[in-house]
Chains A and B, each alone.
Chain A
């Protein structure tokens, strides 16, 4: 194997140097990668071996953060937090790897999560379900529930002063609508005073996953705005 020199530019780092707990405090013990199911799954492009949490943190310390940002590592890592929970030096590994996602150009974010985020900002949910379709689906399903042994059931929409406001995972109205009935049955039995917003009801925050801080914040803001507008005390986020 031929040795080659690594050029270190620690001054121009975007992640390292921001805060010591984002990487620099690491003493390379390897607790993070030792307990991580993603260790060994992503080959290092143009290098040898595979990525793991410890190596990614080392790369950031050495000023090679662009290699981490360009790799699949921050996306195959599920940001589950086992590494951070166990880290003896208090490194914020989740924040560090999410920062790598943030620094990826938006058109290079893998899969649909950036497109879904843009869709959400425009249409109020990740899959672009129109409000009217959503409202008719809820109305139809309420009727179904009545026929299935829940007489008097309907989905309260925009009900002011309800005790609980519920967010919805758009995959359910889109592809698995019957799965919404589990919570509905529980609400029926408990005689809960609950509601769903007619707009911005999406509970899945892909801005969080894609590293898009502004979109992340905006989606949270909308959920809180719905609760305030409808004067609901509790937000139920079945995610």
Chain B
């Protein structure tokens, strides 16, 4: 999160804010907000929102909660995504589904692998199959997926590419990687 912020503020990456046309909301992973606050004295909620707003037209942003520190868990945290209690996990996630519906947003940004899976594959599937109502919801993206989606990429210079190829070939040799030759 700090790294993405640094890349954006220092101009190391530039973003095209016209690629996303959907309304967007942010889900706060428990590890980023409460646990960071309690362990490190800082929470990432404001930073997540700032990064998202650098990627999109800020008018498309829809807030999910009054305070990131009190946002609800997706329902799959603490290893629950991997546990066999699917019914409980989805019941828990209803709270999140209701929150998403209330925002009216189409795209949910989840800055965590676990939350993204729950919202995309867990709740999103329930929504698609009519067992849950997430309103206008269409898709879920990782925060870094959104950044990558909006990234303006300048291909490297010839010299940079050559240097990278040399470094790569040396690495393959060191690791014993033999790539098949192309036709």
- Whether chains A and B associate is yes
A111 contacts B164, CB within 8 Å? Answer: no
At the interface, yes or no: A135 with Cβ under 8 Å from chain B?
yes
B177 interface residue (CB < 8 Å to A): yes
- Chain A residues with CB below 8 A from B88, complex form: 38, 41-42, 72, 76
Most buried by A among B70, B96, B177: B177
Please, which residues of chain A bring their CB within 8 A of the CB of B92? 37-38, 41, 76, 78
Q: How far is the CA of A75 from the CA of B163 in the complex (A)?
A: 50
Q: Report A-chain residues with C-beta under 8 Å of the C-beta of B147.
A: 182, 186
| Nearest CB on A from B12, distance (A) | 4
Residues in chain B within 8 A of chain A (CB atoms): 3-4, 7, 12-14, 30-31, 34-35, 37-38, 69-70, 72-80, 82-85, 88-89, 91-96, 112-114, 142, 144-145, 147-148, 151-156, 160-161, 163-165, 167-168, 171-172, 174-175, 177, 179
**A81 in contact with B35 given A149-B155, A156-B167 (CB within 8 Å):** yes
CB-based contact B30/A80 at 8 Å = yes
Report chain B residues within 8 Å CB of A143: 179
Interface size class of chain A, counting residues whose CB lies under 8 Å from the partner chain: 35 or more
Q: Which residue of B lies closest to A138 (CB)?
A: B177
Select from chain B the residue with minimum beta-carbon distance to A182: B148
Distance between B173 CB and nearest chain A CB, rounded to angstroms: 12
Question: Do the beta carbons of B148 and A181 come within 8 Å of each other?
Answer: yes
Docked CA distance A209–B114 (Å): 12
In the docked arrangement, what's the CA distance between A210 and B163, Å?
Answer: 45
Question: B148 contacts A186, CB within 8 Å?
Answer: yes
Taking a contact as CB atoms under 8 Å apart, the answer to whether A85 and B34 are in contact is yes
From the candidates A152, A171, A198, A209, name the one contacting B165 in the complex (CB within 8 A).
A152
Q: A62 near B: Cβ within 8 Å?
A: no
On whether the beta carbons of A186 and B4 are closer than 8 Å, the reply is yes
Extra contacts besides A76-B92, A111-B79 (16): CB < 8 Å: A37-B93, A42-B88, A80-B73, A84-B38, A85-B70, A110-B84, A110-B85, A116-B82, A135-B175, A139-B172, A142-B168, A154-B168, A182-B148, A189-B14, A190-B12, A234-B3
The answer on a CB contact under 8 Å between A85 and B37 is yes
A residues in contact with B30, CB < 8 Å: 78-82
A135 and B168 CA atoms in complex are apart in Å by 12
Sample (18) of A-B pairs whose CB atoms are under 8 Å apart: A37-B73, A72-B85, A78-B75, A78-B92, A79-B30, A79-B77, A80-B30, A81-B30, A85-B70, A111-B84, A113-B82, A140-B179, A158-B171, A158-B174, A159-B171, A182-B144, A190-B7, A206-B79
- Check B70–A182 contact: CB distance below 8 A: no
Q: Taking the complex as formed, is A119 at the interface, i.e. its CB lies under 8 A from any CB of chain B?
A: no
Report Cα–Cα, A186/B12, bound state, in Å.
9
> Which 5 A-B pairs rank lowest in CB-CB distance, beginning with the nearest?
A209-B79, A80-B73, A152-B161, A78-B77, A79-B78
A60 contacts partner chain B, Cβ-Cβ < 8 Å: no
Q: How far is the CA of A158 from the CA of B175 in the complex (A)?
A: 9
Query: Beyond A41-B92, A183-B144, A210-B79, is A152–B156 a contact (Cβ under 8 Å)?
Result: yes
Chain A residues near B163: list those with CB within 8 A. Answer: 152
